[in-house]
Amino acid sequence: MKNSRFYFPISSPQKGFTLIEIIVVMVMIVLLASLVGPKLFPKLGQGKQKAAQAQIAMIEQALDHFRLDIGRYPTTEEGLSALVKDPGLPRWGGSYLKKGLPNDPWDRPYQYKCPGTHGDYDLFSYGRDGKPNGDGEDADVVNWK
């Protein structure tokens, strides 16, 4: 029989994993995930905060270009949409944002007030919770700090 095409010795042990071995490996994976997971999840929230700060800086540059062309910042009524759509002003040289007006990382529009209480204008996002103030990921991302 050794010369046949398929040789299956009768006394060979089965190869594979036992149920206990699989359970031990799964327990080890769960333990590792429980140790590493809490350290990684706050980084996700910090990433969204930093993305909002970067977008606010980009919008501020567009607002400065608007001011150079028009002589003033958009009013609260004109809003940030004046950066991408001509509000009917004679020297409007837009679009000032090449890729359009972004939403914040939590998919809500940025808040804009002109004149602002903290400067010429206030530009901010309410953070993850969408409400004023907050801590951590819920903290407001603002242009005046």
Q: What is the per-residue pLDDT across 83-121, written as a single tens digit (0 to 9) for each?
A: 999 999 999 987 899 899 999 999 999 999 999 999 999
Question: Rounded distance, CA 34 to CA 67, Å?
Answer: 51
By C-alpha distance, which of 107, 48, 98, 102 is closest to 80? 102
Residue spans of the domains in the chain: they are 20-142
CATH class of 20-142: alpha beta
What is the pLDDT, as a whole number, of residue 73? 96
- Bridge partners for 112 per DSSP: 123
Q: How far apart, in whole angstroms, are the C-alpha atoms of residue 20 and residue 22?
A: 5
Low-confidence ranges of the chain (pLDDT < 70): 1-14, 40-45
Name the nearest CA neighbour of 83 among 107, 105, 106, 56.
56
